[in-house]
Amino acid sequence: FALFDENGLQVDRATVSEVERTFELVLEETKIVRNEFEEDKSVAEAMALVFERRPELRSEGLAMAVLQWYICRFEGWFAADINAISAQLWDMEALTEGGHGLLVNGYEPILDALSEGLDIRLNHRVSEIRWLRYGGVQVVTEDMGSFVADAAIITVPIGVLQAKRITFNPSLPDWKQMAIDATAVGNENKVALLFEKPFWPNVEFLGIVAPTPYECSYFLNWHKATGNPVLVFMPAGSLANDLEMLPDEKVVEFVMSKLRCMFPKAPVTDPLQYRVTRWGTDEDSLGCYSYDKVGLSETNMEALGQSVGPLFFAGEAMSDFMGTVHGAFSSGIRAAEECRARCAEKYMALQLALPMTAASEMDNLKDKRATKHLPPLMVSRLAVA
């Protein structure tokens, strides 16, 4: 990657490498500091204590600005400000093998493969889920359609559950609702800019360093991976929230001002096209992904993922890898296996082969003697960006 200061001067690699080592050391020191307190602290508070005790780790001038950029990137991992991230939990996730992957064709090929043979109903916005602890479920849509099933797997974003955009009847148990409400949902957006031709160096990431993380910026260089002259600006936390308050045109103006600071001598033209995401206010997401907030219990994720009668829950927030695609995928596999086991036990069969059943009424749902076989449903929200 390449970093630039606010005057357009590229930061030398030696300075970047030195600050990177300092940042990693500071993070390691926060692990020592956090164990000295019974109550959880934020990563920002832990870092402040580290700098107080280890003044030799403090940076000034350009090095300080580069350190703020690393903090900015750290915030992007969690989609939250550093003063909201838990010092106790930020490193609780286990690392998986292999490197990071960039899906140059998007997720569509994966979704196409996984959805082959499934009956998927689009434009059926779910408004209510009626359930019986020892019975089945009825999923009601906004247009008053309904689907009856033996069970349902709930995969809507945690922000949608928190906003109670879907009514559960009866209400979810207190322990379940408390786990949902306690989860923090961050915000990281993307502003994709298509230019006539590149005017930037061909590195994976570009960034601008500044006195605070809020003022720093980083861009993904899509041209390096695809050959298309596209830069993707990725604001997180407070900056992402603030930019969502602006119209698209103003957001693009802000991003372009950053680029013109980085490349004052380059022919920085206005983009031919642009796309701005708004995950924080998108009614089908209401947030980007969950993160470990200050004071969050380590057992909260377990409670989020636990089933409630015929209701099963999946998503990145319900996994051991919060905020990741592989976490969301693995939680879906877990929920599907749990759901299958429940249905197999109920019907003494392992094969669920009947198609999805739509019904206008809750046929036989309350009749414990009913033996009608109704395959599980998955309730999700598809947000298009």
Taking only the tens place, the pLDDT of each residue in 276-296 is 999 999 999 999 999 999 999
Structure tokens at 187: 């915000």
Looking at residue 86, the DSSP 8-state letter turns out to be B
**What is the average per-residue pLDDT within 38-66?**
94
More confident of the two residues 344 and 108? 108
Tell me the mean pLDDT in the region 100-112: 87
Name the amino acid, one letter, at 185. Answer: V
Give the whole-angstrom CA distance, residue 56 versus residue 138: 62
β strands within 115-183, DSSP E? 126-131, 137-141, 146-149, 152-154, 167-169
What is the per-residue pLDDT for 9? 96
Model's pTM, two decimal places?
A: 0.87
What's the pLDDT at 371? 41
Asked whether residue 95 is domain-assigned, the answer is no
Q: For residue 128, is it within any domain?
A: yes
Question: Is there a single domain that holds both residue 179 and residue 196?
Answer: no
pLDDT for 204 beyond 90 = yes
Q: Is residue 42 part of a domain?
A: yes
Q: 373: which DSSP letter? A: -
Cis peptide, bond prior to residue 173, ω within 30 of zero: no
Tokens representing residue 39 in the block: 């109550």
Is residue 178 domain-shared with residue 195, that is, in the same domain?
no
Shared domain check, 371 and 229? no
284 falls within a domain:
no
Instruction: Point out the domain boundary residue: 78, 97, 132.
Output: 78
Q: What percent of the chain has a predicted confidence (pLDDT) above 70?
A: 91
Residues 70 and 215 in one domain: no
What are the structure tokens assigned to 361, written together?
């009424």
Question: Mean pLDDT throughout 302-319?
Answer: 94
3-state secondary structure of 144: coil
Based on the domain organization, do 174 and 301 belong to the same domain?
Answer: yes
Residue 93 lies in a domain: no
Q: Is 89 among the domain residues? A: no
Same domain, 176 and 315: yes
Q: Assess contact for 56 and 198: CB atoms under 8 A.
A: no
**Using CA atoms, how far apart are residues 258 and 273, in angstroms rounded to an integer?**
17
Residues 246-270 have pLDDT tens digits of 999 999 999 999 999 999 999 999 9
- 120 and 69 assigned to the same domain: no
Number of neighbours of residue 140 by Cβ within 10 angstroms = 19
91 assigned to some structural domain: no
Task: Based on the fold, state whether residues 72 and 208 are members of the same structural domain.
Answer: no
Domain span including residue 226: 191-276
State residue 378's pLDDT score. 83
Beta strands (DSSP E) in 260-367 are 273-276, 290-291, 311-313
Q: Is 201 part of any domain?
A: yes
Same domain, 165 and 298: yes
How many CA atoms within 13 Å lie on the side-chain side of 305? 25
299 and 262 co-located in one domain: no
Residues present in the chain in total: 385
The residue that leads in pLDDT, 30 or 134, is 30
pLDDT of residue 374: 66
Residue 280 structure tokens? 């924080």
pLDDT tens, position by position, 150-184: 999 999 999 999 999 999 999 999 999 999 999 99
Q: Are residues 178 and 308 in the same domain?
A: yes
**Are residues 179 and 311 part of one domain?**
yes
pLDDT at 99: 76
Total domains, the chain: 3
